Amino acid sequence: MTPPARANAPDTAMSAADAVVAALADAGVTRLFGVPGGGSSLDLVAAAHRRGLPFALARHETAAVIMAATTAELTGRPGAALVTRGPGVSNAANGVAHASLDRAPVLLLADGFTGAERAFANHQWFDQAAMLAPVTKAAAKAVEPGTEAGPMAAALLATAMASPRGPALMELSGVAARAPASPPPRPGAATPSAIPDPAALGAARALIRGADRPVLVAGLEAATPGACAAVRRLVEALGCPGLVTYKAKGVVPDSHPLFVGVFTGGDAEAPLLSEADLILLAGADPVEFIPRPWRYGAPVVEIGAVPRAAYYVTPAAALRGPLEPALAALAEGGRRGAWTAAAIEAHRAAWLARLANGPTTGGNRGLSPQAVVEVAQAACRRAGADPRVSVDAGAHMFPATTFWQASRPGDLLISNGLSTMGFAVPAGIAAALHDPARGALAFTGDGGLLMALGELATAAALGAKLVVVVFNDAALSLIHIKRDARALPEGALGWPRADFAAAMRAFGGLALRAATEEEYAAALDRALAAPGPALVDVLVDPESYPAQIKALRG
């Protein structure tokens, strides 16, 4: 059977830039993000335009890669970003590290140097692949005319999608991008779901049958639709409490009677897991846990796509491969344990109580961080809005991830493996572009927003349906808590309070400020009704953060 012709792609030779874009489209890439320079990046933007693949111009390369990584998480297909050579690549490094440690399949397309260019110039040159080697799964160069860039891009995209997912680098020079090339090979048929290994399945089932108080922890690999549904069926079959990692928020909905909180490897979930006589890790990647020794004596059953480095815990049984069939098989062979609804509810209530920030204070001190989150969710319900939420790194992430109620994977987006500041706004932009009907809400600290301030201009230029909520306390609050008794110079952990509303207004978005709960609720009503981006600059009282961090980390 002859495959259908590609749209906008002639059967005759195309340029290498066209071939790369064809490979992106064949892999399911929905949008190209980047900060172009000269050379191949302009050829790729033009080729994407010819094919009808949208291009979004970011203000910083790391933000572009975060947007591509977020799009990959939401679509389940690769993301793609382009940058110029030299400073474009070095600026993108933090975004690539995020894609690596948060397991997002991204192809970074960088302008490259031909051999002739290297023979007479060192301007902007360094070994780009070597620089990114620690945070990329693969790298390849198509810098000389005649290099088959299409197959190269297709192979790198396939590598990025292989578990554990992550980024890859392709260097494409301008002269190579404009040279004739062949179309990339079409992707092969999807591999059917693997049947779990019978011996491993038998061992896991035996452990489940012998357990009275199992607990399940769902991680980032469980955030696909099929795996999510299988996790829910398994916890319901076992009648056991379900924890989620930050990246898996919504896999077991916050409203589900078996939901008991967020697992980080810290103290907040320790009382529950100390009672467990079996722990099921469902798609939980160790990169999601804080660096602390495993403290629980219960045997562990690990269900994961690939073998893990056993630096956290050595499982008593391990099922490797696609999650959905393994989880379904465990549910079929499972039995209900001894957990009661009252006991599960008590653990959930205790977890929430340990992480509570206390009541809002208002006035000169500002709102409690918890109130910032809960008032925002109430405003969304009042407006009939259902935005995806992106959360930056910093002290505010703890109330945001605890008290924002998620019902589906992708309802809450976060950089967890890398935990980079400057994540929330570009991730929110990507989420809003991915699903304009839902839009997005970005919770960011003032420090994180200062690192990505230019992306407010990106949101305004793109007309993204994005509400940015700034926890403005004029400090690096999480680092301030970690200072212990160190004597630090004035200004080391804080700055004069910035007027973020003024910055948003300058970029062309709706800008609002709030110092009380009443002002904040009214500002959110206006922001959620806006057709484009809006920012609410909220005065926040950071005094409750230390108690919350102690409850989480000890």
| Averaged pLDDT of the chain | 91
CATH of 14-181, picked from 3.40.50.720, 3.40.50.970, 1.20.210.10, 3.40.1280.10, is 3.40.50.970
pTM to 2 decimals? 0.93
Confidence category of residue 6, pLDDT binned at 50, 70, 90? very low
What is the tally of helices (H) and strands (E) in the chain?
22, 20
Distance, in Å, from the CA atom of 517 to the CA atom of 309, rounded to the nearest integer, reads 47
* Chain region(s) in the chain for CATH 3.40.50.1220: 198-352
Domain ranges in the chain with CATH number 3.40.50.970: 14-181, 356-553
pLDDT score for 334: 81
Summarised one tens digit per residue, pLDDT across range 306-338 is 988 767 889 999 999 999 999 999 999 788 999
Is residue 104 within 8 Å of residue 220, measured between CB atoms? no
Q: Give the contacts of 330 (CB within 8 A, at least 6 positions apart).
A: 201, 204, 205, 208, 234, 280, 301, 303, 319
| Per-residue pLDDT reduced to its tens digit, 117-130 | 777 778 888 999 99
Q: Do the beta carbons of residue 110 and residue 171 sit within 8 Å?
A: yes
Please give the Cα distance from 161 to 138 (Å, whole number): 12
pLDDT tens digit sequence for 138-147:
999 999 998 9
366 in the Ramachandran plot: left (φ > 0), alpha (ψ -120 to 50) or beta? left
Residue range 20-35, pLDDT digits in tens: 999 999 999 999 999 9
Residue 8 is predicted with a pLDDT of 43
SS3 track for 494-522 = ECCCCCHHHHHHHHCCEEEEECCHHHHHH
- Matching CATH number, 198-352, of 3.40.50.1220, 1.10.760.10, 3.40.50.300, 3.65.10.10: 3.40.50.1220
Is residue 180 reached through a cis peptide bond, with omega within 30 degrees of 0 on the bond before it?
no
Reduce the DSSP state of residue 49 to 3 states and report it.
Answer: helix
- Find the helix or strand (DSSP H, E) in which 138 lies: strand 138-142
The pLDDT tens digits of the residues spanning 359-384 come to 554 445 789 999 999 999 999 999 99
pLDDT band at 553 (very low <50, low <70, confident <90, very high): low
Question: What letter represents residue 401's amino acid?
Answer: T
The DSSP letter of residue 442 is E
Q: pLDDT tens digits for 181-221?
A: 999 998 776 666 678 899 999 999 999 999 999 999 999 99
Does pLDDT of 495 surpass 60?
A: no
Q: What percent of the chain has pLDDT over 90?
A: 80
Pick from 40, 6, 43, 13: nearest CA to 180? 13
Q: What is the pLDDT of residue 493?
A: 52
Tell me what pLDDT residue 187 has: 79
Superfamily holding 356-553: Thiamin diphosphate (ThDP)-binding fold, Pyr/PP domains (3.40.50.970)
Per-residue pLDDT at 135: 98
Mean per-residue pLDDT, 78-85: 98
Q: What is the pLDDT of residue 487?
A: 58
The per-residue pLDDT for range 405-461, each reduced to its tens digit, is 999 999 999 999 999 999 999 999 999 999 999 999 999 999 999 999 999 999 999
Predicted local confidence at residue 362, as pLDDT? 47
